[in-house]
Chains A and B, each alone.
Chain A
């Protein structure tokens, strides 16, 4: 029994130890340098706590989280459909491939500014900017998935006259899980980054907006406090949602 548990604990420590080490190094460096540009972790934690208590942090974090969630869902829906369609139809693929390459390479800053100019400094324009940045990457990943679909398994579904629903959920879609996951994980990472830029450029709330403010006042402690809160959120999401889900869906590979 203890043997069954130990590897799990071990792997948790392996993940946490480097973070603790980094915190210690940071504290030591801050104490020795005495620089305004590198506040000590203790100072950062103090600010973080104050921001949590005042409700400021949670408000802005909530706004950012909302934008991330909405644009993530939209980008996945559009990207997955587009990718699968392009993987299935060579004509559609040839028709849209240049747009995809273009979309993959246009800097997020350009699409964001253009969205704000064309559609105004609105929530819709902000989310549209993020979605436009993200869709090509999802589409490219899912296109690979659609090209790799195993037709011999679809033939089994036809041979046994499986219903369209069973065929889709039990035979077709599982072939896309690895690609969906790769798109979701890389996509989430990209979206966090873009949402902050979009908030910095044209919103009056959210983590990106706050960090922009702190930059004006050269408030590095607050910038680091927000970064810390943000990183913690991402690690939680990864550890509590993404990784368990992925392990569950990939059980059969082991």
Chain B
């Protein structure tokens, strides 16, 4: 599975330009984080890749019949379906045993017949993450999926995501505005400029596996990057003068 993205131009509804000249490729099994200031069109970019937004000028090339898993900023489970039914919604052929084994692997075996509003926010997100993996995705699109969770819950979900990715090896596009989160999870980070957005830095992360957002290696690299490119997170391109 290789994804080619080349968006020449994408406008918001009010005709302001959201994305201009944005290009990148994602190889099979690659975990790519996308970091950029808010309003840089990151969610829009994922919608375009996921086929939810078709009003743009450019090409997104995916092999035919690529299986896509998606996770949004909110869990977006169907409130009228139980946990089990929510998972079966995207995978009608899933057996009861399979579902229970999956729910067991994330500690939710007792909640198969609960409705989403009976679960905590962290549990709902675990279900949403499982739902994304239900379709055995070749490409996973994650739009700030762990936002607005408390730190321990977010850390738990990140570990879960890392485990699932290690086993299933999907290609991943992970949108976030947290540099440590990007460096902890991804093998490559794309930094976007403020709108109209394009890629200002394509950074390969060469850090040992099994790291988290508090690992010294991650925090060091984040600090180094910010010293070298002070305006990186606000979408600026200027580079600090080399001494």
Is chain B found bound to chain A in the same assembly? Answer: yes
Whether A252 lies near B115 (C-beta < 8 A) is yes
Distance in Å from the Cβ of B138 to the closest Cβ of chain A?
Answer: 13
Chain A residues whose CB sits within 8 angstroms of the CB of B70 once the complex forms = 156, 159-160
Whether A170 lies near B81 (C-beta < 8 A) is yes
Distance in Å from the Cβ of A152 to the closest Cβ of chain B?
Answer: 6
C-alpha spacing A170/B92, complex, angstroms: 12
Whether B76 lies near A174 (C-beta < 8 A) is no
B78 CB within 8 Å of chain A: yes
Chain A residues whose CB sits within 8 angstroms of the CB of B81 once the complex forms = 170, 252
Residue on A nearest B76 in the bound complex, by CB: A156
SS class of chain B's interface: helix, strand, loop or mixed?
A: loop
Chain B residues whose CB sits within 8 angstroms of the CB of A153 once the complex forms = 76, 78
A251 CB within 8 Å of chain B: yes
C-alpha spacing A64/B131, complex, angstroms: 50
Residue on B nearest A155 in the bound complex, by CB: B52
Digitize B81-121: 1 where CB-to-A-CB distance is under 8 Å, 0 elsewhere: 11000000110100000000000000000000001110000
Whether B135 lies near A160 (C-beta < 8 A) is yes
Give the bracket for the number of chain A residues in contact with chain B.
Answer: 10 to 19
Total A-B pairs, Cβ < 8 A? 48
Chain B residues whose CB sits within 8 angstroms of the CB of A152 once the complex forms = 72, 74, 76
A69 CB within 8 Å of chain B: no
A158 CB within 8 Å of chain B: yes
Whether B76 lies near A162 (C-beta < 8 A) is no
Whether A160 lies near B90 (C-beta < 8 A) is yes
B122 CB within 8 Å of chain A: no
Known: A155-B72, A159-B52, A159-B141. 17 other contacts (CB 8 A): A155-B76, A156-B70, A159-B50, A160-B89, A160-B90, A160-B131, A160-B135, A161-B68, A162-B89, A162-B90, A166-B89, A170-B89, A174-B80, A251-B115, A252-B81, A252-B82, A252-B115
Between-chain CB contacts (< 8 Å), 7 pairs: A156-B70, A158-B52, A160-B135, A171-B78, A249-B80, A252-B81, A252-B82
The interface of chain A, by Cβ under 8 A from chain B, is 152-153, 155-156, 158-162, 166, 170-171, 174, 177, 249, 251-253
